[in-house]
Chains A and B, each alone.
Chain A
Amino acid sequence: MPVLEHRRGGSAVLFVLVVVAHIVLISAQVTSKSGMPVLQSVAFGMVAELQRGGAGAVGGVSSLWNGYVDLRGARDENQRLRQQLADTQIRLQQERALAQRSGELTRLLDLRNRVGLVTTAAEVIAASATPDFRTVTIGKGTTSGLRPDMAVLSPEGVVGRVIVPSARAAKVQLLIDRNAAVGALVERTRAQGVAMGRGEETLQLEYVLGTSDVKVGDVVVTSGIDGIYPKGFVIGRIDYVDRAGGALKQIRIQPAVNFTSLEDVLVVLTPQTSDPAAPAPGAPDTAR
């Protein structure tokens, strides 16, 4: 046996070999928690770690390549995509505008079917040139049958009347113009008066008797006595009543139509005939 004690290096190598042999022997008998032999599990774990390291290295190189080296075309692509985005946004706005316009035209068509009048639709193509006159220009004129004093309506209510038609366009005086007036009555109590423009965003309901039953919130509609506007169309809603007045009440109307966002209107081609019913006391010529 002492002959085995030859070299310390040899004993160390032998020791390592014997230890490894023992480990292999133990591993061959023991199963891991997953049921796999420990030797297989350890070997797989080592190989898997190598694979993980390899995958990490490959991933790092790939990431480096994709993130830095391969970005040569990114600037051009970025600009191209930005342009595409801008085009898409513009197209989206166009589509949205078309959808909105389609909705407005649909409502206008509903109105035309509902009123039972001969009408023509027209697009508002321009607003007033001066702020002193509350007018708009529509895209139809005499060639479409428009004549002066034809009523102009919108789905929300009365807009105004045609005052200056040309061949393919017409100027429309809005109800809120300082020189506009329309025969009106309070829908709830049938109290009559004249709604007059003030050059502002509201109307004034004149010539309503002090004894009339009028209150804030009442709806005011056209009376039809002016021979321009068909009867029963909404003018607006009363938002102020002066009770301290004398024989006549001071009444303010909030128009139903938003005159700042008009886009499409209906022009009533059939001129109205004056209602033979007596006008309100003291009412002036409403078609001024």
Chain B
Amino acid sequence: MKTLVVVVALALALVLQTRLAPFLVLGTSPLDLVLIVVVYVAITSGPTTGLLAGAAAGLAQDALSSGILGIGGLAKTVVGYLVGLASTQFIVAGPLPRFLTFLASTVIHAGIFMGLYELLNLRDFGFPWGGVLGQGVANALVGIVVLQAIELLPGAAERRQQRSGGGGMRTSRRLD
């Protein structure tokens, strides 16, 4: 069930990203809804699920774009794994940790994505770190809102409490 939810969420994010791209701008920064979903999945499910979700979402995004197949997948794989790994080590339930997580995820994703394109001499991005930080902030704001909204859904709090054994502050239940 959870897998299906993740797949649906990723698919929805992809559709929204591809259909509503002109409107997915917060201020001057475009949102990356797929990245938000990947980060969310990694936070709630751990590194393995995070990296698989990242790989799948990134590959799908690459397939739908005109870029090299695998670069976005690799970037999101790394992000999903790192965020998942971080969420097992640190408490990322509060707004600020989540904000930082989304911001860092965006920066890491952009660094890998643009860095690979630059490294392979395929495209010159000029390292727009201001834009990347803006996108990170936008992603973080949207991500925090989405996460809070999901957690406010009926039964979400109970499920989270069950997963965490009732006493932990971690957002997901992992055996590692």
| Chain A residues close to B by CB (< 8 Å) | 1-2, 4-8, 10-12, 14-15, 18-19, 22-23, 25-26, 29-30, 33, 38
Contact = CB atoms under 8 A, between A and B. Distances in A.
A1 B47 CA distance: 11
B162 to A, nearest CB: 12
Given A4-B49, A18-B51, A22-B71, 18 more contacts: A2-B2, A2-B174, A5-B45, A5-B46, A5-B48, A5-B49, A6-B175, A6-B176, A8-B88, A8-B176, A14-B51, A15-B77, A18-B77, A19-B74, A22-B73, A26-B69, A26-B70, A33-B121
B159 to A, nearest CB: 11
Interface of B: 2-3, 6, 45-49, 51-52, 55, 68-71, 73-74, 77-78, 81, 84-85, 88, 116, 120-122, 163, 172-176
Given A18-B51, A26-B116, A2 B176 contact: no
B47 A8 contact: yes
Contact of A15 (B3, B51, B175): B51
A82 to B, nearest CB: 60
Contacts of B48: 4-6, 10-11, 14
A217 to B, nearest CB: 85
A29 B49 contact: no
Given A11-B46, A26-B71, A2 B55 contact: no
Nearest to B51: A15
Contacts of B174: 2, 5
Contacts of B45: 1-2, 4-5
Nearest to B72: A22
B74 A26 contact: yes
Given A19-B78, A26-B116, A4 B70 contact: no
